[in-house]
């Protein structure tokens, strides 16, 4: 199959891109790394009349510390997240997850904003944005708005983005001295989409857990927060009993579906195993 014929523009500013989308009466799509959109075009799952390439818009890319947040420009590519000292220092959970995103060739082109806009429930960065309590900076012709990540993912490949709106950047609260985090996933082969993945972002003081956020990928229609498990952990020490209680809470928090190779019960079992491993690593990871 081949993509439908389309027009192509490469604007130099966000405003120019937003205007191009509006002028196309909505029959348009932004293209960033193209790692998900191009296959969708080839399969005619999407067939916009106009592609608006946002990769040459200078101020959409890059990483900066702004006050108490790490600002990640939408077209910052996966490999830049992986290699960034700012990410390693201020958002170590993202640095831990980055090597698990696809393969080097895809990481060279795929973008952070593209990953969040696509909202694939099996993707690492959307779930870790949830674990990190990020804010999404969204640009539109009506002006910018900031959406907490908890209100951004609405369902399967569904986000709070309205037609024509563009992710400009993602803001992640800076890790503090007491922040401890851990990420891991289980996949059939390294680089494949995960059967189950999870990240934990916690504050630990003298062995006791304070604030904690846990998010899973591949166990529901969108990135899933494990609020019940968080409630079990908050204020407690990581004893075997507490870990087991947190694992038990996952049966309410998560809603995995099954397929022929991986029944739902197996995904739930893997999620429990993964959470146990991650909590076991928390004390020792920076
Ligand atoms: C073989 C293969 C394996 C992969 N494995 C993984 C994996 O293991 N984990 C993983 O997370 N991902 C994986 N991916 C997906 C990859 O990470 C994509 O790059 C990413 O999901 C989308 O980013 P992109 O920049 O390529 O977006 P594009 O493909 O350009 O766009 C995706 C969608 O987002 C929209 N969009 C893009 N940028 C914006 C923006 N700033 N504002 C609003 N809308 C926007 C587009 O219009 C489109 O609808 C894989 C891809 C392939 C081809």
Q: Is the pLDDT of residue 183 over 70?
A: yes
**What pLDDT is recorded for position 166?**
98
Of all atoms in ligand 1, which is nearest to the CA of residue 39?
53
Average pLDDT over the chain reads 95
Query: Residue 60: which pLDDT band, with cuts at 50, 70 and 90?
Result: very high
**What pLDDT is recorded for position 120?**
97
Can you give the residue range of the structural domain that contains 40? 7-53
- Asked whether residue 286 is assigned to any structural domain, the reply reads no
How far apart are the CA of 176 and the centre of ligand 1, in A?
Answer: 30
Specify whether 96 is located in the same domain as 138.
Answer: yes
Of all atoms in ligand 1, which is nearest to the CA of residue 46?
49
Q: Is the pLDDT of residue 81 over 90?
A: yes
How far apart are the CA of 56 and the centre of ligand 1, in A?
Answer: 17
Query: Residue 196: which pLDDT band, with cuts at 50, 70 and 90?
Result: very high
- Asked whether residue 28 is assigned to any structural domain, the reply reads yes
> Where do we find the tokens 């309410």?
252
Specify whether 66 is located in the same domain as 169.
Answer: yes
**What pLDDT is recorded for position 238?**
94
Specify whether 31 is located in the same domain as 70.
Answer: no
Check: CB of residue 28 under 8 Å from CB of residue 54. no
pLDDT > 90: percent of the chain? 90
Specify whether 168 is located in the same domain as 183.
Answer: no
- Asked whether residue 240 is assigned to any structural domain, the reply reads yes
pLDDT digits (tens, 9 = 90+) for 197-228: 999 999 999 999 999 999 999 999 999 999 99
Average pLDDT over residues 108-122: 97
Average pLDDT over residues 174-198: 92
Protein residues whose CB sits closer than 6 Å to any atom of ligand 1:
29-37, 54, 74, 101-102, 106, 110-111, 113-115, 117-118, 120, 123-125, 161, 166-167, 193
Listed residues 138, 173, 208: the one ending a domain:
173
Q: Is the pLDDT of residue 14 over 80?
A: yes
Min mean pLDDT across 45-54, 71-80, 228-237, 249-258 is at 249-258
**What pLDDT is recorded for position 284?**
53
Of residues 79 and 192, the one with the higher pLDDT is 79
How far apart are the CA of 31 and the centre of ligand 1, in A?
Answer: 9
CATH number of the domain encompassing residue 39: 3.30.43.10
Query: Residue 260: which pLDDT band, with cuts at 50, 70 and 90?
Result: confident
Listed residues 143, 173, 203: the one ending a domain:
173
**Secondary structure of 238-271 in HEC code, one letter for each residue:** CCHHHHHHHHHHHHHHCCCCCCCCCCHHHHHHHH
How far apart are the CA of 110 and the centre of ligand 1, in A?
Answer: 6
Of residues 117 and 256, the one with the higher pLDDT is 117
Listed residues 114, 142, 173: the one ending a domain:
173
The pTM (predicted TM-score) of the whole model is 0.96
Q: Exposed, middle or buried: residue 285 (CB in 10 Å: 0-12, 13-18, 19+)?
A: middle
Of all atoms in ligand 1, which is nearest to the CA of residue 167?
42
What are the DSSP calls for 135-166, one per residue?
A: EEEEE-TT--EEEEGGGTEEETTEESPPTT-E
How far apart are the CA of 118 and the centre of ligand 1, in A?
Answer: 6
Specify whether 210 is located in the same domain as 270.
Answer: yes
**What pLDDT is recorded for position 255?**
85
CATH number of the domain encompassing residue 238: 3.30.390.50
Specify whether 239 is located in the same domain as 150.
Answer: no
Q: Which of 25, 22, 21 is nearest to 51 (CA)?
A: 21
Specify whether 189 is located in the same domain as 272.
Answer: yes
**What pLDDT is recorded for position 2?**
86
CATH number of the domain encompassing residue 72: 3.30.465.10
Check: CB of residue 125 under 8 Å from CB of residue 95. no
To test the pocket of ligand 1, the residue of 13, 30, 187 to mutate (highest count of ligand atoms within 8 Å of its CB) is 30
- Asked whether residue 1 is assigned to any structural domain, the reply reads no
Q: Is the pLDDT of residue 246 over 80?
A: yes
Specify whether 198 is located in the same domain as 143.
Answer: no
What are the DSSP calls for 9-57, one per residue?
A: E--SSHHHHHHHHHHTTT-EEEESS-TTHHHHHHTTS---SEEEE-TT-
Specify whether 110 is located in the same domain as 212.
Answer: no
pLDDT digits (tens, 9 = 90+) for 138-165: 999 999 999 999 999 999 999 999 999 9
User: For the chain, how many structural domains are there in total?
Assistant: 3
């Amino acid at each position: 199959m081949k993509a439908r014929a389309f027009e192509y523009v490469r604007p130099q500013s966000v405003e120019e891109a937003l205007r191009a989308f509006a002028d196309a009466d909505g029959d348009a799509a932004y293209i960033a790394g193209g790692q998900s959109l191009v296959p969708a075009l080839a399969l005619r799952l999407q067939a916009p009349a106009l592609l608006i390439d946002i990769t040459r818009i200078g101020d959409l890319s890059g990483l900066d510390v702004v006050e108490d947040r790490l600002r990640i420009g939408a077209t910052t590519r996966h490999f830049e997240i992986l290699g960034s000292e700012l990410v390693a220092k201020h958002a170590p959970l993202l640095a831990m997850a980055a090597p698990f995103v696809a393969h080097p060739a895809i990481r060279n082109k795929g973008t952070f904003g593209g990953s969040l806009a696509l909202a694939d429930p099996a993707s690492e960065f959307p779930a870790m944005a949830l674990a990190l309590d990020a804010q999404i900076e969204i640009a539109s012709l009506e002006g910018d708005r900031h959406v907490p990540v908890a209100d951004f993912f609405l369902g399967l490949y569904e986000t709070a983005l309205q037609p024509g709106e563009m992710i400009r950047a993602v803001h992640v609260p800076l890790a503090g001295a007491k922040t401890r985090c851990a990420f891991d996933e289980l996949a059939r082969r390294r680089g494949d989409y995960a059967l189950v993945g999870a990240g934990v972002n916690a504050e630990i003081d003298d062995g006791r857990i304070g604030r904690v956020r846990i998010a899973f990928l591949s166990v529901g229609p969108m990135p899933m927060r494990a609020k019940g498990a968080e409630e079990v952990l908050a204020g407690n020490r990581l004893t075997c009993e507490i870990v087991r209680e947190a694992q038990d809470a996952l049966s309410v928090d998560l809603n995995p579906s099954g397929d022929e190779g991986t029944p739902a019960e197996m995904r739930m079992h893997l999620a429990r195993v993964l959470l146990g491993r991650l909590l076991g690593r928390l004390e020792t990871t920076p």
